[in-house]
Amino acid sequence: MKPLLVLGVESSCDETAAAVVRLADGRAEALSSVVASQAAAHAPFGGVVPEVAARAHVEVIEPTVRHALAEAGVTLKAIDGIAATAGPGLVGAVMVGLAFGKALALAGGLPLMAVNHLEGHAVSVRLTADVPYPFLLLLVSGGHCQLLEVAGIGRLHRLGSTIDDAAGEAFDKIGKALGLAYPGGPALERLAEGGRAERFPLPRALAGREGCDFSFSGLKTAAARLAERCADEADRRDLAAAVQEAIAAQLAERSARAMALYAAQHKSTALRFVVAGGVAANRTVRAALEAAARAHGFSFHAPPLAYCTDNAAMIALAGAERLAAGMTDDLDAVARPRWPLDEASALASPTHKPGRKGAKA
């Protein structure tokens, strides 16, 4: 099959991103990946402000796309298709990138792929490594925490998901309680260096319980209360280490359960475990997951840090794989603030009550 060049656009939260990915014989290569972060614009508010995000995307989307094309050394004429994130995310933010992607597709007479942001994270590992389908995926980001069987592009089956907060949300909220700037995850990891985790025993929700669901709200409340009583920097460091350890332990314990289930269903295929999403950038989390994978006979794969957090290369790759499979979308594709990857499982056993717009996650 002829190589495909796909331009990806991502704007679902607080990063405006564009990238060009080349897909040839199932192997991907990112020719460029540009990320314009709005973190500084949201930092004074301690979290992402939807209206601020949408406006900031509008301001930088065009130069970001130009930059990605220039860095890849191509013009729109060389592109075979446009991939744009169509959700889930902040609806105003998603609409900016999706509308821009549609305009490019229309202007260039190119196919459009309306990509689920989570599917982007799911394939992100394939940008730099040859990880064939199927694989078991732990997707851990600021908005999501779920275990999925990834059988192929567009074929994902959910094994478990958080019943309250996402792991990244727990990092961010506890980081805030510890007085750290947004986003709390990376700042908490830095603070935890050299900390003594054993000083603060924290709740281990669902440990030993059946199933592959997650829960972080008890840990969040307990840690926020302890943070109020931290007297000095050493206390804060030890508490940060304890929080990081507790989150890593839960992610590893629940993933190990999913590995056992997955292994029983995939007796004749190689067992691969992939972690993706912003929280996969955390070294303690990675080490705990890698140990669990090794103990269960799985190979372990994680994207490089730049592809763990939000980027458009992963959206371009998901789009390229879709294009190769003939899965394109019409120009009337809508922005979806809620868009579960596995809609059948999400509707059959919703982890959140379905809202007006359907199952959340």
Task: Give the whole-angstrom CA distance, residue 202 versus residue 248.
Answer: 12
141 binds Zn ion (CB under 5 A): yes
The conformation of residue 298, written as its DSSP 8-state character, comes to -
Cα separations in angstroms, 63 against 57, 59, 223:
11, 9, 42
What is the nearest approach in angstroms of ligand KG4 to the Cβ of residue 32? 19
Q: Residue 303 binds which entry of Zn ion, ligand KG4, none, with Cβ cut-offs from 5 to 8 Å by kind?
A: none
Asked if 311 touches Zn ion (CB under 5 A), the answer is: no
Near Zn ion by CB under 5 A: residue from 310, 321, 329, 342: 310
| Residue type present at position 343 | E
Q: Please list, residue by residue across 335-352, b when 16 or more beta carbons sit within 10 angstroms of its beta carbon and e when fewer do.
A: bbbbbbbbeebbeeebbe
Which of the listed partners (Zn ion, ligand KG4, none) does 116 bind, with a CB threshold of 5 to 8 Å by partner kind?
none
Residues in contact with ligand KG4 by the rule CB under 6 A? 13, 141-143, 168, 171-172, 183-186, 189, 277-279, 281-282, 309-310
Q: What does the per-residue mask of binding to Zn ion show for 191-230, with x meaning CB under 5 A? A: ----------------------------------------
Q: Measure the CA–CA gap between 182 and 350, rounded to whole angstroms.
A: 30
Residues 6+ apart with CB under 8 A from 233: none
Instruction: Give min distance, CB of 329 to ligand KG4, in A.
Output: 21
- For residue 101, the partner it binds in Zn ion, ligand KG4, none, with Cβ less than 5 to 8 A by kind, is none
DSSP code string of 79-91: --EEEEEEESS-H
Cβ at position 347, least distance to Zn ion in Å: 23
Cβ-based nearer residue to Zn ion, 112 or 308: 308
**CB under 5 A: which stretch of 168-176, 249-257, 283-291, 309-317 binds Zn ion?**
309-317
Cis, bond preceding 44 (omega within 30 deg of 0): no
Pairing of strands 4-10, 15-24: antiparallel
Binding mask 264-303 for Zn ion (x = CB under 5 A): ----------------------------------------
Per-residue buried b or exposed e for 63-90, using 16+ beta carbons within 10 Å of the residue's own CB:
ebbeebbebbebeeeebbbbbbbbbbbb
CB 114, min distance to ligand KG4, A: 17
Binding partner at 168 among Zn ion, ligand KG4, none, C-beta below 5 to 8 Å by kind: ligand KG4
Q: Which is nearer to ligand KG4, 111 or 278 (CB)?
A: 278
Minimum CB distance to ligand KG4 smaller for 172 or for 213: 172
Q: Which is nearer to ligand KG4, 104 or 308 (CB)?
A: 308
Number of residues that bind Zn ion (CB under 5 A): 2
HEC string of 217-265? HHHHHHHHHHHHCCCCHHHHHHHHHHHHHHHHHHHHHHHHHHHHHHHHH
Residue 302 and residue 288: Cα distance in Å, rounded? 13
Q: How far apart are the first and last CA of the chain?
A: 35
In whole angstroms, the minimum distance from the beta carbon of 310 to ligand KG4 comes to 4
**CB 242 to Zn ion: min, Å:** 26
Q: How is residue 265 written in tokens? A: 């269903």
Q: Closest approach of Cβ 144 to ligand KG4, in Å?
A: 7
Q: Least distance from C-beta 121 to Zn ion, angstroms?
A: 6
Report the interface residues with Zn ion, using CB under 5 A.
Answer: 141, 310
